[in-house]
Amino acid sequence: MEAGLEKLVFIFNHGSTTHEASVRIKVPAGSYTARDLVKEEAVTAPYVRDGIFLRKQLTPNDVWVLRLSTK
């Protein structure tokens, strides 16, 4: 979902085992911040090869909800 300079990102683990999610979201070059909206904390989101790179261990049926913003 997008609104202006912000994007909401939802990453799901529909599986029955813990899984490391590795996701690259293609965005224009720039400086970005990522925030976990459930834990209300900043997330490391380096810009790598034309996109933001995110990584997290997701437990079974877990959902990771993030807000990406330009700095």
Assess whether pLDDT exceeds 70 at residue 59. Answer: yes
The answer to whether residues 70 and 4 touch, using CB atoms and an 8 Å cutoff, is: no
Assess whether pLDDT exceeds 90 at residue 62. Answer: yes
pLDDT (mean) for 24-34: 91
Q: Given pLDDT bands bounded at 50, 70 and 90, which one contains residue 2?
A: low
Domain count, the chain: 1
pTM here is 0.85
Q: The domain containing residue 32 runs over which residues?
A: 2-70
CATH number of the domain to which 33 belongs: 2.60.40.1180
56 to 19, 45, 53, 62, 64: CA distances (angstroms): 8, 11, 11, 11, 9
Measured CA to CA, the distance from residue 67 to residue 49 in angstroms comes to 20
